[in-house]
Amino acid sequence: MLQKLMQAIMPPEKMIEMFIYKIISTLSIEQISEKVPVACEQNKFALLHTYVYHEIVESKGFPIKRKVYIYEICRAKTAATMLTDFPHFSIFMPCKLAIYEENGSTVISTMNMEIMLKAVSSNQELYKEATSLFNTLKTIMKSLTNI
């Protein structure tokens, strides 16, 4: 019922904005993307996989006119606790960090976890740990915009 109400009163663009946390930068996508591995390491995130998505879709015959990088990152301790208590959260894992070009700027984005984390608040330790993880992820994103 709530879903139908939200769809009725909220334009689709606003709905998606609610679920995304993003920072817009004037730095080039290359300047930002080259800093991701170091920023992850400094903040105790494992960089599991990097997708150069514009190259992937081009290799499948669908070239796009923007560069898009997607990074899968993880904090194993938090992931293990989340999967132990809330295995249905596995569809949101690992954390993703997307960097793409849009309107002459570079966008750094991730899922806005604040909404989702309320669902795990019954486990206060996990909620605190996951909230700290999200805050650190936002710090990483901000650090990527600094020269």
How many beta carbons lie within 10 A of that of residue 75, not counting itself?
22
Is residue 13 assigned to a domain?
no
pLDDT at 112: 92
Helices 124-144, 76-85: inter-axial angle, 10-degree rounding? 140
Is residue 56 assigned to a domain?
yes
Is residue 1 assigned to a domain?
no
Is residue 100 assigned to a domain?
yes
pLDDT at 95: 94
**Token reading at 126:** 């996990």
Is residue 53 assigned to a domain?
yes
pLDDT at 2: 62
- Domain span holding position 140: 20-144
Is residue 65 assigned to a domain?
yes
Distances (CA, A) of 146 to 78, 91, 92: 27, 31, 28
String of DSSP letters for 12-24 = HHHHHHHTEEEEE
Q: Domain total for the chain?
A: 1
18 vs 38: CA distance, rounded Å: 29
String of DSSP letters for 29-82 = HHHHHTTHHHHHHHTT-EEEEEEEHHHHHHHTT---SS-EEEEEEE-HHHHHHH
Is residue 5 assigned to a domain?
no
* 14 pLDDT above the threshold of 90: no
pLDDT at 146: 82
Task: Report residue 3's pLDDT band, with 50, 70 and 90 as the boundaries.
Answer: low
| Global confidence as pTM | 0.88
pLDDT at 115: 80
CATH number of the domain within which 42 lies: 3.30.310.70
How do residues 67-125 score in pLDDT, each as one tens digit? Answer: 999 999 999 999 999 999 889 889 999 999 999 999 999 999 999 998 888 888 888 99
